[in-house]
Every structure is written in C-alpha cells, then in structure tokens.
Amino acid sequence: MRDLLYKNLTFSNRGRKIISSSEVIDQEGVHSVVRRHFTYVIKQLENSHIEKQPAYLYVLKEKNTKNKREHFFCKIKGSLLTENNGKLLHILFIHTLSIELTASCGAVEHA
C-alpha cells in the first residue's frame, strides 16, 4: 500500500511558496513515512547591502532496536542573492526531510 499527499501553496502577495509532500508505504514488513517540506520567501531589495545570515544544516539519526524503529531528520536553512530582470532578489529557504521506518506488525524476524 502506498499513500501520497502533495501540497503546493503560493502566496504571491507575500512572495512565499510552500511545497510539502508526505508518503506512507507498507511494503515487505516495513512501514515507512517520508515527509518533505520546502519553504521559500522572496524579497526584492532596493540596494545590495544586506546582513549575511548564516546557513545551517541539522541532521538527526535515531535507531531503536527494541521498538524496531529508525528515524532520520535533516533540515537545511539558508539564503541567496540573485538577479531577475534587473531586480535584486533575496531568497530565504528552509528544506526539511523526515524519514521514519518501523517494522510492521506482521514482520518476520530473521536471525
């Protein structure tokens, strides 16, 4: 079984775009849930002087053998400057990825 949910929200008056997806899969004794989330905020700049915001990467990986569960989470946050049709744009972005794997109730253990 596979369920997929996809959302694409655009707020043109605020210069914001949000894209998210969620996927649930039950296959071969493993239940997996994958979530992706992308957020973009675009601001037009009048001059090229802006304060540089630090980018960061956060990664978390957990493994719980007792509960037969694995979880992976990654978050990237940053910004960039670009030019489009003579306009200077500042793009702020946040991307997240979450993957969770658990053994299904009917899963058979291997020695």
* Burial class (CB within 10 angstroms; exposed 0-12, middle 13-18, buried 19+) of 43: middle
Q: pLDDT by residue (tens digit) across 41-85?
A: 998 888 766 777 788 999 999 999 998 999 999 999 999 888 888
What would the 3-class secondary structure string for the chain be?
CEEEEEEEEEECCCCEEEEEEEEEEEECCEEEEEEEEEEEEEEEECCCCCCCCCCEEEEEEEEECCCCEEEEEEEEEEEEEEEECCEEEEEEEEEEEEEEEEECCCCCCCC
Q: pLDDT by residue (tens digit) across 18-45?
A: 999 999 998 888 999 999 999 999 988 8
Q: What is the pLDDT of residue 107?
A: 45
At 109, the pLDDT band (50, 70, 90 cuts) reads: very low
